[in-house]
Amino acid sequence: MRPSHVIRVFVFAFPLLLAGCAPTEPPDTRAADEAAIREIVERWSDAAENKDVDSFVSFYAPDGTVMPPNAPPATGQDAIRRVITDLFALPGLQITFATDKVEVARSGDLAYDIGWYELTVNDEQGNPSTTRGKYVVVWKKQTDGSWKVIYDMFSPNS
């Protein structure tokens, strides 16, 4: 083969070789991930309505953090369990929450959801008192493909 043929082959083949070596983009799973998170939030809210501490805490990553209003952050499932146990022990507690929006990163490993909550407890006279508020939760996909809460922050509207 003459040197000029080798150069022509190289000039035409090199771009093809580079294209074949380029990393392929992972599939876009955002819609499926959003649906999964919405379903998880429904189960999480059910755990809250049933005052099931173990189930509720299971939605957090081992190193997750909850940031309740007027209290310091609690990091790790043991600390979160203490916060949730105290919350669920409040007299007359009723709690519900739901997602308004879920946004999943294109990378498919992080997401956030924002929504609302309604919390009712008995006041000092034993009368129900309801607080409405909003929340932001940051989710992280775990190595097993499940979604777990890494940050949970909520605050009353007033």
For the chain, domains (ranges, CATH) are: 29-156 (3.10.450.50)
Q: What string of DSSP letters covers 102-133? A: EEE-TTSSEEEEEEEEEEEEE-TTS-EEEEEE
pLDDT tens digits along 48-95? 999 999 999 999 999 999 999 999 999 999 999 999 999 999 999 999
Position 31 scores a pLDDT of 97
Percentage of residues in the chain having pLDDT higher than 90: 82
Is the whole-model pTM more than 0.85? no
Of 67, 66, 44, 42, the residue nearest 54 (C-alpha): 44
Confidence class for position 99, pLDDT limits 50, 70, 90: very high
In sequence order, the β-bridge partners of residue 115 are 99, 135
Residues 141 and 96: their CA atoms lie apart, in Å, by: 24
How large is the average pLDDT for residues 32-61?
98
